[in-house]
Structure 1
């Protein structure tokens, strides 16, 4: 179930698709919004208007999910035994309570709720267990929690409080979380990773499903010069959002200039549609620049990946045994980069300060030290074993058993 813009992708999979929120988020809205925001001639006044409209639609979406009859009807008609809700938007799990369907939070990133032993994913901090580290972690979480009382957070709290007044027996939740639209709910939290990549946590309720990487997916072919080359391959990509900020162009240029000085290396770099391969002029013979890259196919040949640190890219690197140099941008990427460094899977850089000198030093360090690849390969075995064992399916079936035997939901006190 997704807004209409999700249909084009989901129809390529062997799954039935149910559109939701068509009135609030009509087909084409997301692409139009991104296109207008990327317009270099967009005025400040127009940007403010787009932002106000986005916030208005988001408020309508939240109220439709919590109180609207259309979404509730589609949930009821689905006949579902379980609703898996994207952990970044938890409100549909509350709606599922109204129709008696159990709901779990599914994290395609690492867990997002507060943990005394683990900093927020937006932090670069690597916990050490020291008093100073614990204070730093607590301060980071408190700062994020205070932000939920700002006007934007209050716009979310008000309908959630109203929902709990109407449905006091719904699964309790709180706003001690980050990168979530809505509260973190006290329902099973499913994480598409293994604990071996995460930091040790103090809180419970987290169930690791394995990396859940589709290693057999169909991809476009590699460029011929990459498919047939024998030189060490450097793969560079900032992910699906990396091309939306034109400021990344100097970073891409620094990577090109770095590899241009090393004819014994080969570079395959994805820059997205906004920057475009044509934006870099004549390229060195050992550099290939494309809009999109078939990432799994490229990783099978790569010696190292320069990445933004999105969890999907990090997991794919681990599954293919490829060390990383992570230049995090936003969201959970700083926390993922911290874990890459902590586990010795690669290095971290600052995209704002990247230069030929810093990139050369990082590439020399990772390519020149087999210990990085050895540590990635050790975690690779853990990842592949988890996926091949069917851990995710077994975990969900076990978590569902209490719901299957429960005649009526047990009352719980909700504390938003």
Structure 2
């Protein structure tokens, strides 16, 4: 039996997903395994992966006329379009198979929200490569025992409410599968268009079911994609997830932060000592955009805050800045990403420090509180440093993350639509003064044992693939 393996990561093109995977990949490298990341040839992630010490395997994007277009007859036979694979699917599968063979992969971690998750899992299965799903959120498969990650509901543990809860959870799942989430977070036309596209894609993914079953697998509905039911590794903390989901034997958790992640230093000389340090992160506009970052898209686009779809982000930032302009006994560090140019020239209080990006791990080491939308990456890293949170969810999984934070008393949740500067001051004061929240955050931090978690991953992989990492 081999002692060292060639391990691949096929992830969604988002920085938070890669950051989560780097922690596991570094540990695997230290154990002598060769880890590679599959990225599109023109993607910003080619350089990003290389900067963090890993080998990027470049995937050539498919463009017309590399694949034959649908015949005229097939274009009007809608059921055929739903149930038969087009030429692009076959071309993608052939290219992936060639890369697998070229790199002699022994194991692959496959992102559960990739558009090509089903076709990719089929290729890996046909080539005999064990595959583990990875998720950088607490997404799960459709079951009426718990709400989807898009929901802000906290599951009840009361036996008498079981039947009613199952009905509510089922309705929430139906809504989640067929839509993009809460409509108020997006432009109306984009919301309807993308919700229809998402529903059609989920239905179209059913066409992979016969082939999956022939290979001994099946698929299930989930929050973002219909996905194969194979073992799954979640880049998050088991203690934060709902018990009914965390008890799934086919689900493993790895919430350790990659402390070796290469980041720029932070100039602490600008921050006054003796004052509470509050970190606010709003470093992405992706939730408001029509799609995820493309292969050639810049990592931090400049956005126009006059556009209707950014009204919520604009108001949110204005409330945060107004809050801290009234409380100069606090220090605010803001990472506002694509919104940086719109706010850097505006006047702000001397206790407010605005950046495009900051080395988040470095800042969290000294932060007393984090104000966040509730993205999975920020939540995970706040927990690893024992930092309480104020969460103002805006879209998709942020609502489920906020519910978990409230349920475990490691922070509080606010309404991004109507919070005022005065209310935010009261919330900040409340969390900073609440010793139970600080104690709960520290208790969850103490449960973050990277050695135990990696051993859990090793045991999980061995149990499901017979590979000893």
Normalised-by-shorter TM-score class = 0.7 to 0.9
How far does the alpha carbon of each residue in 1:125-150 deviate from its partner, in whole angstroms, 9 at most, with x for none?
11113243332112211333466995
3-state secondary structure, aligned to 1:178: coil
3-state secondary structure, aligned to 1:251: helix
Change (3 A) 1:252 1:390: same
Task: Using the TM superposition, give the Cα deviation of residue 196 of structure 1 relative to its aligned residue in structure 2, in angstroms.
Answer: 0.8
Change (3 A) 1:316 1:281: same
Q: Which moved more, 1:88-97 or 1:318-327?
A: 88-97
Distance 2:142 2:393 in 1: 21
Please state if 1:64 is matched with 2:110. no
Equivalent of 2:53 in 1, 14, 30: 14
Change (3 A) 1:394 1:291: same
Equivalent pair of 2:230/2:250 in contact (CA under 8 Å): no
Distance 1:62 1:209 in 2: 37
Task: Using the TM superposition, give the Cα deviation of residue 391 of structure 1 relative to its aligned residue in structure 2, in angstroms.
Answer: 2.9
Please state if 1:246 is matched with 2:278. no
Equivalent of 1:283 in 348, 353, 362: 348
1:134 is matched with which residue?
A: 166
Change (3 A) 1:282 1:305: same
Q: Which moved more, 1:165-174 or 1:135-144?
A: 165-174
Equivalent pair of 1:328/1:350 in contact (CA under 8 Å): yes
Change (3 A) 1:167 1:369: closer
RMSD (Å), alpha carbons: 2.9
3-state secondary structure, aligned to 1:365: helix
Equivalent pair of 1:193/1:208 in contact (CA under 8 Å): no
Task: Using the TM superposition, give the Cα deviation of residue 277 of structure 1 relative to its aligned residue in structure 2, in angstroms.
Answer: 6.2
Distance 1:386 1:241 in 2: 35
2:224 is matched with which residue?
A: 179
Task: Using the TM superposition, give the Cα deviation of residue 231 of structure 1 relative to its aligned residue in structure 2, in angstroms.
Answer: 0.9
Distance 1:61 1:279 in 2: 48
Kindly report which structure 2 residues correspond to 1:143-222, keeping only aligned pairs within 5 A, or say none: 143-145=175-177, 152-155=198-201, 157-158=203-204, 160-161=206-207, 163-165=208-210, 168-180=213-225, 183-201=226-244, 204-222=248-266
Equivalent pair of 1:81/1:101 in contact (CA under 8 Å): yes
Change (3 A) 1:381 1:362: same
Change (3 A) 1:117 1:207: same
Structure 2, unmatched stretches of 5+, are 1-37, 65-83, 181-194, 287-301, 304-308
Equivalent pair of 1:249/1:275 in contact (CA under 8 Å): no
Please state if 1:112 is matched with 2:140. yes
Distance 1:198 1:386 in 2: 20
Equivalent pair of 1:210/1:383 in contact (CA under 8 Å): no
2:390 is matched with which residue?
A: 325
Distance 1:171 1:156 in 2: 21
How far does the alpha carbon of each residue in 1:193-224 deviate from its partner, in whole angstroms, 9 at most, with x for none?
23210011267343323203112323222234
How far does the alpha carbon of each residue in 1:293-323 deviate from its partner, in whole angstroms, 9 at most, with x for none?
1111111111100011111101111111100
Equivalent pair of 1:65/1:71 in contact (CA under 8 Å): no
Provide TM-score, normalisation by structure 2: 0.71
Please state if 1:78 is matched with 2:103. yes
Distance 2:103 2:379 in 1: 34
1:103 is matched with which residue?
A: 131
Equivalent pair of 2:333/2:352 in contact (CA under 8 Å): yes
Distance 1:142 1:377 in 2: 37
Provide TM-score, normalisation by structure 1: 0.79
Equivalent pair of 1:239/1:308 in contact (CA under 8 Å): no
User: Matched residue pairs, number?
Assistant: 367
Structure 1, unmatched stretches of 5+, are 26-58, 405-416
How far does the alpha carbon of each residue in 1:99-129 deviate from its partner, in whole angstroms, 9 at most, with x for none?
2212111111113212333211101111113
Distance 1:231 1:61 in 2: 60
Change (3 A) 1:349 1:280: farther
Task: Using the TM superposition, give the Cα deviation of residue 374 of structure 1 relative to its aligned residue in structure 2, in angstroms.
Answer: 0.4
Equivalent of 1:235 in 264, 274, 279: 279
Distance 2:134 2:444 in 1: 22
Change (3 A) 1:330 1:164: same
Equivalent pair of 2:142/2:220 in contact (CA under 8 Å): no
Equivalent pair of 1:319/1:384 in contact (CA under 8 Å): no
Q: Which moved more, 1:202-211 or 1:301-310?
A: 202-211
Change (3 A) 1:76 1:171: farther
Change (3 A) 1:159 1:177: closer
1:46 is matched with which residue?
A: none
Task: Using the TM superposition, give the Cα deviation of residue 16 of structure 1 relative to its aligned residue in structure 2, in angstroms.
Answer: 2.0
